[in-house]
Structure 1
Amino acid sequence: MGQMSIGDAIKQVLESNGWKQRMLQIRMRTDWEKIVGKTIAKYTQEVHLYNRILTITTTVAPLKQELRYAKDQLIQSINQHFGEAVVKDIQIK
């Protein structure tokens, strides 16, 4: 049996038990303002991450359009913030 670092062991346990997805969801909500800024965070009612698809809910039509235009850049910013490919697509509602 090979040796494994404590960090790798914890990561493996989180992934095998499905906890990593839940932790990413919580961290996304917590860090949302840091990622997108105060203005966008203020006008987004819900941010939900599931199966690498981020769903953003807002009632502000111009913001919806802006988020759609900046979708690829936002995915890149989020993944850079987390240091891994957390989001592969974004849905705006």
Structure 2
Amino acid sequence: MAKRHAENISIGDALKEFIENNRLEKGLDKVNAKEAWDRVMGVAIAKYTTDIKFDRDTLYVQLSSSVLREELGYGKEKIIKMLNEDLGKDLITKLVLR
């Protein structure tokens, strides 16, 4: 049974506590990383993205264009930085383009 707080707390704080208590943060990080890729990279690159997986600290991105994969490979560090800024924390340390 969940603890009941005597004081009033905000909904945001209640949700954070729920996520921490039920160990849901890893799953949410996976979803957030996928959504961040689409937001940061835009529609043009998302169109060539076939699969995105986040495991531990690595983001695996499957691309349907070998030319695009080569071009993005030159800016991996910048892409990682932009994704982490969008996520609001240093979640991704390595990017693997397939």
**Normalised by the size of structure 2, how large is the TM-score?**
0.75
1:60 corresponding residue in structure 2: 65
Please list the CA deviations of residues 72-91 of structure 1 after superposition, one character each: whole Å capped at 9, or x if unmatched. Answer: 00000000001110100011
Matched-pair identity in %: 25
The SS at the match of 2:90 is coil
Report which of the two structures shows the higher radius of gyration computed on alpha carbons: 2
Distance 1:53 1:18, change over 3 A: farther
Specify the code of the residue in structure 2 equivalent to 1:47: I
Asked if the contact 1:68/1:92 (under 8 Å) is kept, the reply is: yes
Q: TM-score, normalised by structure 1?
A: 0.79
Gaps of 5+ in 2: 1-8
What is the CA-CA distance between 1:19 and the residue it aligns to? 1.5
Offset, 1:20: 1.0
Judged with a 3 Å threshold, the aligned counterparts in structure 2 of structure 1 residues 72 and 80 are, in CA distance, closer, same or farther, namely: same
Note the aligned Cα RMSD (angstroms). 2.1
> Pairwise mapping of residues 1-93 of structure 1 onto structure 2 (< 5 A)?
11=16, 14-15=19-20, 17-93=22-98
* Residues 21, 50 of structure 1: 8 Å contact kept: no
| Matched residue SS, 1:37 | helix
Q: How many pairs align? A: 89
2-structure distance, mates of 1:61, 1:16:
43
